[in-house]
Copies of this chain bind each other. A is one copy, B any other.
């Protein structure tokens, strides 16, 4: 066995595409409690109170919802150079860009499924304005407590036509560690939970049943406690946000979850948990089809749309963007008007 790769530190930010930019922005500011740090072109840059960089979410107006790109920060300039070399050799490299708001030069490439990724090292540390300066100097920003008050981007879950191919790419070329996976009875892979740190997951691939390319399953934002997650459910319910899956606990990776749709049609999650993987030789936990059929940790059945819906939506791709925001998302009968 070769030595572990320690070149990449963590997922720095993700870009989310939305056909309803104003509504999505209002959602992330008022309901998820994020702060706007910059507006540039068709994009708005947003941060959670615990992000040490300027932002972790770039929200960009677009014809269709989905993932714009995902950016990973390297441990050092040397580590960045090493990874770029490996990716270029692997054939999925695109090339360098000068950077973006808040970070320096970035190398663009795709995973085998076609999701756009970037690697970078240089990044600005967030400097709060006086109104957001916290009392304690080891906190990047004042905790405002607005809405769900998410702390930071936690993980990115993308759909892929072939989980195995993308999973191997992330492990071998990027150095992600594979903590958990679902393997079907026929040997195909249904999902892979990977991380660059002791956090239970940062990047997840799940099988795209529509067999499309480059789609997003969801972005997840962290809160510190389960109580905050339950509180978020109350707030989002009152705000008429469609709740796809009410708060409960995942079997895989043990995270507490709450899934909703933001107005652009993208699934977003409020998550929390302290399931850390300290083992440097962690043996991947493999779940069978039968085990997965048992539902989530406490027996809650996973809702069907969780397995079928991603962005852009299969129908949306064929027919153009959804006309009203609510038509972009699956219907659920359980919501209170």
Number of contacting residues on A, CB 8 A? 87
Oligomer copy total: 4
Residues of B within 8 A of A299 (CB): 237, 243, 246, 332, 334-336
Tell me if A115 counts as interface (CB < 8 A to partner B).
no
Is A10 within 8 A of B278, CB to CB? yes
**Most chain B CB atoms below 10 A, which of A198, A272, A274:** A274
Tell me if A188 counts as interface (CB < 8 A to partner B).
no
**In the complex, which of the residues B1, B9, B300, B334 contacts A246, with contact meaning CB atoms closer than 8 Å?**
B300
**Most chain B CB atoms below 10 A, which of A230, A278, A337:** A278
**In the complex, which of the residues B52, B247, B335 contacts A248, with contact meaning CB atoms closer than 8 Å?**
B247
Residues of B within 8 A of A224 (CB): 274
Is A75 within 8 A of B280, CB to CB? yes
- Chain B's closest residue to A153 (CB) is B278
- Tell me how far the C-beta of A182 lies from the nearest C-beta in chain B, rounded to whole angstroms: 12
Tell me if A125 counts as interface (CB < 8 A to partner B).
yes
Tell me if A301 counts as interface (CB < 8 A to partner B).
yes
- Chain B's closest residue to A33 (CB) is B145
- Chain B's closest residue to A227 (CB) is B227
Tell me if A116 counts as interface (CB < 8 A to partner B).
no
Tell me if A226 counts as interface (CB < 8 A to partner B).
yes
User: How far, in angstroms, from A78 to B253 measured CA to CA in the complex?
Assistant: 29
- Tell me how far the C-beta of A25 lies from the nearest C-beta in chain B, rounded to whole angstroms: 19
Residues of B within 8 A of A123 (CB): 281
Residues of B within 8 A of A26 (CB): none
Residues of B within 8 A of A222 (CB): 274
- Chain B's closest residue to A242 (CB) is B299
Interface residue stretch chosen among A61-69, A129-137, A310-318: A129-137
User: How far, in angstroms, from A127 to B330 measured CA to CA in the complex?
Assistant: 33
User: How far, in angstroms, from A121 to B281 measured CA to CA in the complex?
Assistant: 9
Tell me if A142 counts as interface (CB < 8 A to partner B).
yes
Residues of B within 8 A of A199 (CB): 198, 276
User: How far, in angstroms, from A283 to B197 measured CA to CA in the complex?
Assistant: 19
User: How far, in angstroms, from A278 to B126 measured CA to CA in the complex?
Assistant: 13
Interface residue stretch chosen among A85-93, A208-216, A287-295: A287-295
Is B125 within 8 A of A246, CB to CB? no
With A74-B280, A146-B145: A237-B135 Cβ-Cβ less than 8 Å: yes
**Most chain B CB atoms below 10 A, which of A1, A248, A296, A336:** A336
Q: Given known contacts A75-B280, A243-B298, what 11 new A-B pairs fall within 8 Å (CB)?
A: A52-B277, A52-B279, A135-B238, A136-B251, A138-B254, A143-B231, A225-B227, A225-B274, A246-B298, A294-B336, A299-B334
Contacts from A to B (Cβ < 8 Å): 1, 3-4, 6, 9-10, 52-53, 73-76, 78-79, 121, 123, 125, 134-139, 142-143, 145-147, 149, 151-152, 180, 197-199, 222, 224-228, 230-231, 233-235, 237-238, 240, 243, 246-249, 251-254, 272, 274-283, 285, 287, 291, 293-301, 332-337
